[in-house]
């Protein structure tokens, strides 16, 4: 069913098959397929509907009759209250579509292209955030001759255009607060802690939680432990290009309110050495303390500066943000 095979949906189909075994006459069942834009809700719904009909189940019928009835609804978030009101006596089931694995993303791209994807496309596929609809968009579809590297003959320009379109559409789906948050994040290089971004915006972390969840759901940002990062550097570039030039210029000159004076002299010394990629043991040797004490100092530094990793600390030092007596010379 469909021009490309249904890849990476074994879990969801197993849940659907279990559900179909529960659909009986007399009471309709509503299946809500939930997932973000491009997650393949419609494609999966068509597959489930076909399986239901093979079992003699009426799919999306006008009203429940003598036989079993299943209503399949593709919903981005939550459910459609009007539909559920109409089927007030229905048994409601929900299946949330998970992102495809990296291996399944590559398999899907190969199925779309008719040939294994080349390195240029493979590099950009993470932008799809495991959403099959966006994988297909990036791959460009099966029409047209394929190059030896797995990308069609108009590779560079066409792939760049498709990438900009996919990211631009994700950005356009965001509410203004979420869009402004991710645009401001383009001024921070590398992975960053949420506290660092909220200091830049002048708001509390609690105030931006809905916007952060929305941006993560859209696939523009990803999480890695306590840090946030753009899913791909190209995503950062495209989002940054959406800013008016005066705003972009202002963001490039902003210091995200890092107050180095909150650190003690010992913490400043440890921070500088850690920013140079010295290990805890090496730092301990330099400052005459134990590695355990160095680790304690680093935890204090991260908390005081609103960061979560040595990567962020090194980025602050590298970009000249240590302006309150921090020295880059060896101790």
Is 1.10.10.10 the CATH number for 174-254?
yes
CA angle 262, 209, 192 (to 5 degrees): 45
User: Which residue did the predictor score with more confidence, 164 or 4?
Assistant: 164
Q: What DSSP state is assigned to residue 5? A: -
pLDDT at 227 over 90: no
The model's pLDDT over 45-103, given as tens digits with 9 standing for 90+, comes to 999 999 999 988 888 765 545 567 777 777 666 555 555 666 666 788 889 999 999 99
The model's pLDDT over 301-320, given as tens digits with 9 standing for 90+, comes to 988 877 778 887 887 777 55
> CATH assignment of 260-317, given 3.40.50.1370, 1.10.10.10, 3.40.718.10, 3.40.50.1820?
1.10.10.10
CB distance 79 to 31 below 8 Å: no
Q: What is the pLDDT of residue 141?
A: 56
For 182-225, give the DSSP string: HHHHTTS-SSEEHHHHHHHHTS-TGGGHHHHHHHHHHTSEEEET
What pTM was estimated for this model as a whole? Answer: 0.71
């Amino acid at each position: 069913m469909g021009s490309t095979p249904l890849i990476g949906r074994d879990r969801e189909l197993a849940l659907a098959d279990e559900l179909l075994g529960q659909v009986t006459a007399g009471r309709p069942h509503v299946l809500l397929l939930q997932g973000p834009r491009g997650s393949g809700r419609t494609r999966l719904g068509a597959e489930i509907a076909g399986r239901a009909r093979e079992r003699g189940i009426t799919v999306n019928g006008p009203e429940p009759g003598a036989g079993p009835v299943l209503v399949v609804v593709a919903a981005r978030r939550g459910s459609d209250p009007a539909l559920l009101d109409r089927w007030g006596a229905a048994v409601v089931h929900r299946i949330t579509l998970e992102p495809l694995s990296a291996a399944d993303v590559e398999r899907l791209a190969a199925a779309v292209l008719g040939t294994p994807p080349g390195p240029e496309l493979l590099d950009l596929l993470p932008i799809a955030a495991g959403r099959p609809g966006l994988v297909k968009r990036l791959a460009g579809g099966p029409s047209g001759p394929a190059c030896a590297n797995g990308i069609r003959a108009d590779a560079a320009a066409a792939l760049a255009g498709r990438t900009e379109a996919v990211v631009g559409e994700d950005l356009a789906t965001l509410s203004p607060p979420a869009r402004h948050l991710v645009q401001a994040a383009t001024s921070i290089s590398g992975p960053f802690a949420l506290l660092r971004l909220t200091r830049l915006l002048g708001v509390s972390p609690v105030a931006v939680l809905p916007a952060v969840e929305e941006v993560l759901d859209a696939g523009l940002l990803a999480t890695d432990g306590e840090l946030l990062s753009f899913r791909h550097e190209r995503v950062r570039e495209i989002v940054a290009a959406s800013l008016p030039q005066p705003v972009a210029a202002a963001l490039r000159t902003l210091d995200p309110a890092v107050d180095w004076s909150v650190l003690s002299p010992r913490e400043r010394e440890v921070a500088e050495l850690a920013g140079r990629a010295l290990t805890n043991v090496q730092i301990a040797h330099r400052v005459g303390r134990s590695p355990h004490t160095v680790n304690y100092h680093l935890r204090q530094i991260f908390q005081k500066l609103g960061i979560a990793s040595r990567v962020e600390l090194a980025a602050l030092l590298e970009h000249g943000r240590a302006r309150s007596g921090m020295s880059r010379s060896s101790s």
